[in-house]
Amino acid sequence: MERSFGPVRFIRGGNSGKYPYCNSVYVEDAGVLIDAGADAAAYQRLRDGPGVTEVWLTHWHEDHITYLDMFADLPLVQMQLEAKVLNGEEDALDWYGLTTPAFRDYWRVNLREKFNFKPRHAARYFSPGEIIDLGSCSVEVIHAPGHTPGHCAFFFREPAVLFLGDYDLTSFGPWYGDRDSSIEETIASVERLRDIPARVWLSSHDHGCFESDPGDSFDRYLAVIAEREQKLLDYLTAPRTLAEIVAQCFVYRKPREPKAIYEWGEGAIMGKHLERLLAAGRVVLEDGRYRLS
């Protein structure tokens, strides 16, 4: 499905924008495509029709670069903070925070075969807060870290369209499980984005298109963070290992396969909550077990 809001065109990803796809945004006349994980046929129509002049990334994650090789001849623009991650597979695996050898091996193959990962270097970098004149509209680059350190949202000022990127307001809630992700920065970024004076809100996954104020959706999205943390705290009334915490499936709700995605992801997100609780003095770690302080 494609929708247009002035010069801003919303391109729904495969499987209704659900992972491993993402939704994209295309700017008419300027030929700018934001993210490249939606649909190969839609991208080919853009290349054949109005044309694509350059590709922007909200951030580096695998589902946003799947079809980036279709634009290998065009300039890529991203945050310099995340430039290194596209140097090669090992850099990407490091940025995920993958340390278990079997999980790392799985993701190395997954990146190549499912997401067409190839080293890529940007032609230039965004400056946080810069205003870019695209002719048909102007866009403000909003650095919104937390999901990843260099995650960006884009506010198209004249049509008042805000592309939230992976702060996607889905029922799953925020992802903050990468090595350099942050719960605190995620919350701050979402709160900042909800204050942007937009009239249309677009996001990278699922429905991804809100034409009325999604205030309740912002509330529910952020509430997932507190819900995960409360479940963890309730479980830590007795000392628990990380493996025991992961087995509770507070994030994914039930065991899923492959473990290299779901077990790793569960541990990554719960690990961020444990880091936060340890720093706040609410939890202590003794002999490999976490408990309430």
Q: For domain 236-292, give its CATH number from 1.20.1070, 1.10.260, 3.10.620, 1.10.10.
A: 1.10.10
Spans of all domains in the chain: 2-219, 236-292
pLDDT band at 148 (very low <50, low <70, confident <90, very high): very high
According to DSSP, the β-strands at 24-27 and 124-126 are unpaired
pLDDT at 33: 98
Q: For residue range 245-260, what is the model confidence (pLDDT) as tens digits?
A: 999 999 999 999 999 9
Closest Cα to residue 84, out of 75, 93, 73? 93
pLDDT, average across residues 36-48: 97
pLDDT band at 268 (very low <50, low <70, confident <90, very high): very high
146: its two tokens: 């937390």
Domains 2-219 and 236-292 share a fold: no
pLDDT at 265: 98
pLDDT, average across residues 153-163: 97
pLDDT, average across residues 155-179: 97
d(CA 153, CA 80): 15
CB 130 within 8 A of CB 145: no
DSSP 47-93: HHTT---EEE-S---GGGSTTGGGGTTS-EEEEGGGSGGGG-HHHHH
Q: For domain 2-219, give its CATH number from 3.40.50.1970, 2.60.120.10, 3.40.50.1950, 3.60.15.10.
A: 3.60.15.10
The answer, yes or no, to whether residue 1 has pLDDT greater than 80, is: no
Q: For residue range 65-101, what is the model confidence (pLDDT) as tens digits?
A: 999 999 999 999 999 999 999 999 999 999 999 999 9
CB 16 within 8 A of CB 48: no
pTM of the predicted model as reported, rounded to 2 decimal places: 0.96
Residue partners of 137: CB distance under 8 A and separation at least 6: 6, 7, 8, 27, 30, 156, 157, 158, 159
Average pLDDT over the chain reads 97
